[in-house]
Each structure stands twice: as structure tokens, then as C-alpha cells.
Amino acid sequence: FATILGAEPGAVTEGTPLQSLAGWDSVAYLSTVVFLDDQLGVLVRPEQLQGAVTVADILALAEASFQREGFWVSHVIQSRSR
């Protein structure tokens, strides 16, 4: 996810405000939607991200989708990063 935002891995945490990221622009916004779909299988409409203020807000959207399916985002992200 940090790559989408043009940040170093580990530089972005759940509490990071999206507006504080130099790479958070319209391209990163849409790339986030694509990332969630392609990498995690989470369908998030672009308008759902409008209320996101921090990285945690984006993760919460994905988490809600996974909970409906019986998965947890943190487990999926950890397993894909290994």
C-alpha cells in the first residue's frame, strides 16, 4: 500500500493521515480502489473512500467487507507481505 502512495515501506501506519502523504492524490485514490480489488478481493466504490481520513479508515472499509465474508484483512495483508 505504501508503494501506491509513493512512500517507503513502513513509513505509513494505520494512524497516518491521508492528506499528510505527498502521494495521496486522485491517482492514488483510484489506485487504492484497484489495489483492494486486485490484491484483497475487496470491492470498494470510489465514493466510499471519500470519508477516509487515515489509513485505518481504508482498512476499516476492507475489514468490513472481509468480516461479511468471514476473513480478517490483517491476516490477509500479513500473509501477502511475507
pLDDT in tens, 14-45: 899 999 988 899 999 999 999 888 888 888 88
> How many angstroms from the chain centroid is the CA of residue 34?
10
Which residues, in sequence order, are CB contacts of 2 under 8 Å at separation 6+? 8, 9, 10, 11, 12
Instruction: Please state the length of the chain.
Output: 82
| pLDDT tens digits, 59-77 | 898 888 766 655 555 554 4
pTM for the full model?
0.74
Where are the alpha helices (H) located in the chain, listed in sequence order? Answer: 26-40, 55-69, 73-80
